[in-house]
Amino acid sequence: MINKPMEKLMTYKSSMTIPAHYVFLFVLFISMPLVAQEEVKKEDESEVAVVPDADGIEDPGLKAGNVAPSWALMYAPAKFEFLKNWTVERGARLRKSTTQPYRHVVVVSFFATWCKPCMKELPLLQNLYEKFDGQRVKWFLVDITEATRTSPGYEDSPKAAPFLAKKGITMQILNDNRGVAKQRYGAKTLPRLYVIDKFQTIRLAKKGFHEGEDFEGEVGAMVEKLLAEADE
């Protein structure tokens, strides 16, 4: 038999409810890191992944006809790759013209290991990389994974080199650890791809990944066209 005071206490406890707005806030809080890594949206019919600190990036809207911003990016400890090793504006000399005197076409793709649309684009780029092997075209993957690692939800993103190796991606990875190239190219979303001619001019700029388009055909045709153009 339950006495009256205890009966009242049990009745009170059983009738307690948590306000709905508290439940909503709790669920939102615990899911925030997950949402951050899954922020994929449509932009101009293309699938893009939003860069977490994009509010601090000004997109210059680089397009065909613009001069490609220069960069110097590390690919191994104390070893750097320069855009000007391969392409410079008309009338200028390549950075190492005595040892590497030939102008090249350059294909640059900005990516991160947390970027799902990037993982759709990279195998197609790999196919093109293998197709044009031995020709005067350079393929660079600019990795911004480390530049975004301190953002909530991105701390455990896989390291780029082993992650891509498992996927059979063998193009050279350049580490934009401080996000300098990301800022210069205004990479607010990923992937970002640029095909640059022998005179440092962007000839093709693509934002995001568009399901169903002939990506290999479009990029491959542009590379073939630029390779056929005169060096001077």
Using pLDDT thresholds of 50, 70 and 90, give the confidence band for residue 18.
low
Q: In this model, does residue 179 exceed pLDDT 50? A: yes
The domain limits of the chain are 39-228
Interval 86-114 mean pLDDT: 96
Interval 208-215 mean pLDDT: 93
Q: In this model, does residue 24 exceed pLDDT 70? A: no
Kindly write down the DSSP assignment for every residue of the chain, as one continuous string: ---HHHHHHHHHHHT----HHHHHHHHHHHHHHHHHHT-EEEETTEEEEE-TTGGG-------TTSBPPP-EEEEETTEEEEGGGT---TTPPPTTTTT-----EEEEEEE-TT-HHHHHHHHHHHHHHHHTTTSSEEEEEEE-TGGGTTSTT-TTPPPHHHHHHHTT--SEEEE-TT-HHHHHTT-SEE-EEEEE-TTSBEEEEEESB-TTS-HHHHHHHHHHHHHHS---
How confident is the prediction for the chain on average, in pLDDT? 86
Which stretch of 22-31, 131-140, 146-155, 179-188 has the lowest confidence by average pLDDT? 22-31
Q: Give the global pTM.
A: 0.81
Looking at the structure, give the CATH architecture of the domain made up of residues 39-228. 3-Layer(aba) Sandwich (3.40)
Distances in Å between the Cα of 151 and the Cα atoms of 113, 116, 144 are 14, 17, 12
